[in-house]
Amino acid sequence: MGRKHRPHPDDFSGHQCSWFMCTAMISNRFHRAGIMICQEHALQTWATVEQMNASGPPIREEPKPKPVPNWDNFEGYVYYIRIADLVKIGHTKNLDRRLATYPPGMEILKIRYGSRALEHQEHIRFSEHLNHGREWFQANERVLQLVSEVNGLDIEDHLEPEDYQRRQHTPQIVRHRRVNSERAGHGH
């Protein structure tokens, strides 16, 4: 019984480096370890990591605080959003949570501090353009013009896209199968 010849770890493996535009071959040692780059690029990567470690942890920029209303008499927000060919005028006290319930394609038109009474006044003002329900209006030129004239808050100071974008998830697929009563141990 002859022993199988095992190639030297530093011989080329026949696999090419996966670094962009590199044509060098990787060694057997790297290939067996799952490192799919050549020695030159491995050293370059190691040097970069060493340099990053020597400079310390990355400096994290503190997020700028969002302006907040006077909480003693805070009544919430009135928001104007567009979804396809509809504009919704709504009220909420938790803007981030509320906006996260809308589809990802929605567009925030305006946000302002306000009460449910203000929301109701706006519903009356826009009523001739009502589409359905009491909060959904046609996104026609007149409605968009009226919304643009609303004195609102600076949206960029109040919201970051990750605050209100709906979380994406894949629905769970449930498959039902018929169980044979004999196999289930009922023996009828």
Q: How many domains does the chain have?
A: 2
Please check whether residues 154 and 97 belong to one and the same domain. Answer: yes
| Strongest mean pLDDT among 1-5, 10-14, 79-83 | 79-83
Considering the entire predicted model, what is its pTM? 0.51
pLDDT at 5: 74
Which uninterrupted H or E stretch holds 53? helix 39-54
pLDDT averaged over every residue in the chain: 80
Q: In whole angstroms, what is the distance from residue 115 CA to residue 76 CA?
A: 6
Asked if residue 28 belongs to a domain, the reply is: yes
pLDDT digits (tens, 9 = 90+) for 76-121: 899 999 999 999 999 998 888 888 888 878 888 999 988 999 999 9
Same domain, 85 and 16: no
Does residue 86 share a domain with residue 32? no
Tokens of 13: 């493996």
pLDDT at 169: 44
Residue 168 has pLDDT above 60, yes or no: no
Are β-strands 77-83 and 25-27 bridged in parallel, bridged antiparallel, or unpaired? unpaired
Full domain range(s) for residue 112: 71-164
Q: Are residues 87 and 131 in the same domain?
A: yes
Answer yes or no: are the C-beta atoms of 81 and 106 closer than 8 Å: yes
83 and 18, same structural domain?
no
- Strands of the chain (E only): list them: 12-16, 25-27, 77-83, 86-92, 107-113, 130-132, 136-138
Amino acid making up residue 166: R
Q: What's the pLDDT score for residue 66? A: 64
Specify the 3-state DSSP secondary structure of 12.
Answer: strand
Identify residue 63 by its one-letter amino acid code: P
Q: Identify any residues that bridge with 91 across adjacent strands, giving them in sequence order.
A: 78
Residue 64 inside a domain? The answer is no
